[in-house]
Structure 1
Amino acid sequence: MAEKCNACGKFLPAADRVTCTKCSSMCHRRCVNIPQGAQAPPSWICPDCKANVPRANTDGTPLRGQPHTTTETTQVMPNVNEDIRTFREEIRKASEECRIWREEVAELRSIMKSMGDKIEELEKKVDDLEKVVAEGGSNKALEATVSQLKMDLDERDQELLLNDVDIAGITEEDNESVQHLVLACATKLGVPLDERDIVSCKRVGLRRTGTKEDSRPRAVTVRLARRSVRDELIKAARVRRGLSTEGLGLRGSPRPLYVNERLTRTNRQLFNRAREIAKKLSWRFVWTREGRVFVRQDQGAPATRIRSSGDLERVFGPGSGLSVM
């Protein structure tokens, strides 16, 4: 019957064994660190017998691991290697995500710079034409050109806001984290939103105090890194009727919560004025899309875009655009 190594339990070839002088058990030379061909000491004893030899005054001395622990270490190594491979894969994915985000941010900056150059050019044209009008008196052609340039300028301003949303109704508190509130609103809407999706977010305007009407919370303006995320938020808000701040952990009674695309000052005034007039004249639909204001008298009627106070007067009648700057 073939002998087995007392250290590792594997079968022993005759040429690769040493015998314990105390218990007569045999071990592989490599398991007990005796080189092949070397002579074992005459009093050599196996690791088990050596461990049983009493040692005086060495209670605090750590014992060298037994040779059979080599097998246990070998069994653990595959798991460690798998963990390392998993970790490397996670790092690779994270690096790829960072690369994509850097490209998107660079593209956004490039678009903003291009829009900024166009706006500066249009502003210069408007200033020059206004000077001509002021010096030459009333000139309908020049006034029409100035009006057109102002609309073009406002459109450029609106294009810079196409990644923005306004969130109105969030109760305002001291030392609040606006970003946390935005993420909580997104969760309530069922839209997955990460901190990396938010380029900036802040309250806009002066803080209102005093009466209940004046104490309405300021809107939160959010600039998002991707247009698709903005569209998801707006779409989710429009399909949820009666959306409120309930569940956001804010003090006071729940308030209605509104999520809309951000408009320039001019478009916001046109939109508000169009809603007022439409309500008086029983027009059913007033809405915005991609920063543009539209009205429709009834279901099935053609939609009309409102770009200026002149459009308000043309659609709703004389005097309709008087309150729009």
Structure 2
Amino acid sequence: MQCLGCQLTVIATEALACNICKGIYHYKCVCISSEYYNAHLQQLNKTWQCPSCGNVTSRRKGADGTPVRGVQPTPREIMNVSLLNDLRGGQHDDTTCQADMSCDESLLDLTNTLDNTNVTLPDRSKTSLPPVADLHGTISYNIFSKLLDSKLNACKEEINNSISHATEELRKNFSLTTDAILAEMATLRTHVGTLSQKVDLLEKENISLKLELDSAKKVNAGSDNSALLQDTISTITRIQEDLNERDQQALLNDIEITAVPEFKGESPMHIFVGIASKLGLNLEEHDVVHVGRVGPVHGDGDRLEGAGSVRSRPRPIVVRLARRSVRDQLLKNSRVRRGTTCADLGLPEHQHRPFYVNERLTKTNRILFGKARELKRAQNWRFVWTKDGRVFARKSETSKVHYIRSERDLCRVFEVEPTSDCSK
């Protein structure tokens, strides 16, 4: 059996037969709710009439009183009413839905007119859609398409506005971030420039004092001005010590790694990351400002000829770290794991020897540290070490700690005879 309304197959639990024409319909196609159908099924089977039979009107041709059957609406008209209700956002109620099944010929005229006319729909944001009753229960595909386009255009405009707003917020946030970075960079450049000027000024003062000292020596060569000469020498020594202190402050984030074999084509960064890993620190490349070998090549015999060739006297590796705390932790771990060798660093085949990690010192402090170690061995002192680039010495665990800044301090601390160097 087929439904006369939707032309689809009807099963027994959904069928409703007209008592006049015996036509079969889905109960939902004639706008009867499921609750009403189940509650009044027996009464409907006895008395229900389809819309076509229920809309018969009395129309006469002359004296003939033969009734004329109404025009039955097509399934498309019924579905168009439902589609229009959905587009309006309304709720479809089976108990109140009524299909216009009258034989009014103006309905057919209006349907043909809407199908064949290029209808321009108003903007949904400004006007409302015409009521369903005005369309006499029908809507063409053309109108449906324009309704859908109107809805899609509204959604598109809303999405574009949201994207524009989000883009503007991102642009503002990015501008604020870049402005702050540029301001910090400008401040940093100003600070570096100021420090550079101060260093240049100190160097000029040092040169000027040396010239004055030489001039004073020439003028007072035959006179007894030892006190003035001694004051001048003391002033120069103090200035040199201050300059050395400033240079050492600039190296507080640096370390020096020695006794690591040197190969042609090696990667100092890769070697350092491997060393840090062996010392218990997992560092990334952004933790390192600079890494490389320093110092002159010692003689032609140490020249590297081919890939994998090892230098007999490897140059030290100098590393500048981004943070002071990382440097301190690396030095601490190197003291705990003293004796760690160069094995498993990804280097070519070589003899595995221990490497050493120390603070990087200025040339002056490096010379002082070397001489202090020699005097320590000669006089059986227990301790000579460096901390934050400064040289310290201690005779025993209970004795006083001495801070060594110059050759003169070496002579005083270790109680040795003054030499030409110690007189400075």
Quick check: TM above 0.5?
A: yes
Counterpart in 2 of 1:159?
Answer: 249
Counterpart in 2 of 1:233?
Answer: 330
2:381 is equivalent to residue 283 of structure 1:
yes
What is the letter of the counterpart of residue 82 of structure 2?
A: G
Counterpart in 2 of 1:150?
Answer: 240
Aligned-pair distance for 1:242?
1.1
2:201 is equivalent to residue 121 of structure 1:
yes
Secondary structure of 1:118's counterpart equals helix
Contact 1:273 1:323 in 2 (8 A): no
Q: Distance in 2 between matches of 1:110 and 1:159?
A: 19
Secondary structure of 1:37's counterpart equals helix
Secondary structure of 2:384's counterpart equals strand
Inter-CA distance 141–201: structure 2 relative to 1 (3 Å threshold): same
1:275-304 deviation line (CA, Å, top 9, x unaligned)? 011011100100000000000001111110
Counterpart in 1 of 2:292?
Answer: 202
- Aligned residue pairs total 236
What is the letter of the counterpart of residue 282 of structure 2?
A: P
Q: Distance in 2 between matches of 1:236 and 1:116?
A: 35
Q: Distance in 2 between matches of 1:264 and 1:321?
A: 22
2:376 is equivalent to residue 296 of structure 1:
no
Counterpart in 1 of 2:416?
Answer: 318
Unmatched runs of 5 consecutive residues or more in structure 1:
4-12, 16-33, 40-94
Counterpart in 1 of 2:312?
Answer: 215
Contact 1:204 1:219 in 2 (8 A): yes
What is the letter of the counterpart of residue 351 of structure 2?
A: S
Contact 2:408 2:421 in 1 (8 A): no
2:321 is equivalent to residue 224 of structure 1:
yes
Contact 2:288 2:321 in 1 (8 A): yes
Structure 1 length normalisation: TM-score?
Answer: 0.65
Q: Distance in 2 between matches of 1:206 and 1:152?
A: 28
Q: Distance in 1 between matches of 2:189 and 2:279?
A: 28
What is the letter of the counterpart of residue 133 of structure 1?
A: L
Aligned-pair distance for 1:207?
2.3
Secondary structure of 1:186's counterpart equals helix
Inter-CA distance 112–36: structure 2 relative to 1 (3 Å threshold): farther
Q: Distance in 1 between matches of 2:188 and 2:270?
A: 24
Contact 2:252 2:389 in 1 (8 A): yes
Contact 1:309 1:320 in 2 (8 A): no
| 2:270 aligns with one of 155, 169, 180 | 180
| 1:245 aligns with one of 314, 317, 342 | 342
1:153-187 deviation line (CA, Å, top 9, x unaligned)? 00000000001110111110001111111111111
| 2:82 aligns with one of 17, 37, 40 | 37
Aligned-pair distance for 1:306?
0.7
Contact 1:245 1:256 in 2 (8 A): yes
Q: Distance in 1 between matches of 2:80 and 2:243?
A: 88
What is the letter of the counterpart of residue 215 of structure 1?
A: S
Inter-CA distance 229–14: structure 2 relative to 1 (3 Å threshold): farther
Secondary structure of 1:222's counterpart equals strand
Q: Distance in 1 between matches of 2:346 and 2:421?
A: 39
After TM superposition, list the pairs within 5 Å mapping 1:11-90 onto structure 2. 37=82
Cα root mean square deviation, aligned: 3.3
What is the letter of the counterpart of residue 282 of structure 1?
A: N
Aligned-pair distance for 1:217?
0.8
Inter-CA distance 203–262: structure 2 relative to 1 (3 Å threshold): same
Determine which structure has more spread, i.e. the larger CA radius of gyration: 2
1:67-116 deviation line (CA, Å, top 9, x unaligned)? xxxxxxxxxxxxxxxxxxxxxxxxxxxx9xx99xx79x969877655543
Inter-CA distance 175–144: structure 2 relative to 1 (3 Å threshold): same
Secondary structure of 1:294's counterpart equals strand
2:403 is equivalent to residue 305 of structure 1:
yes
Inter-CA distance 257–35: structure 2 relative to 1 (3 Å threshold): farther
2:213 is equivalent to residue 133 of structure 1:
yes
Identity %: 41
Contact 1:261 1:291 in 2 (8 A): yes
Structure 2 length normalisation: TM-score?
Answer: 0.50
Counterpart in 1 of 2:358?
Answer: 260
Secondary structure of 1:202's counterpart equals strand
Secondary structure of 1:299's counterpart equals coil
Contact 2:287 2:322 in 1 (8 A): yes
What is the letter of the counterpart of residue 330 of structure 2?
A: L
1:212-257 deviation line (CA, Å, top 9, x unaligned)? xx82210011111111111111111111121221221323111221
Inter-CA distance 111–207: structure 2 relative to 1 (3 Å threshold): farther
1:103-145 deviation line (CA, Å, top 9, x unaligned)? 9x96987765554333222211111110110000161111110
What is the letter of the counterpart of residue 345 of structure 2?
A: L
Secondary structure of 1:287's counterpart equals strand
Q: Distance in 1 between matches of 2:189 and 2:233?
A: 34
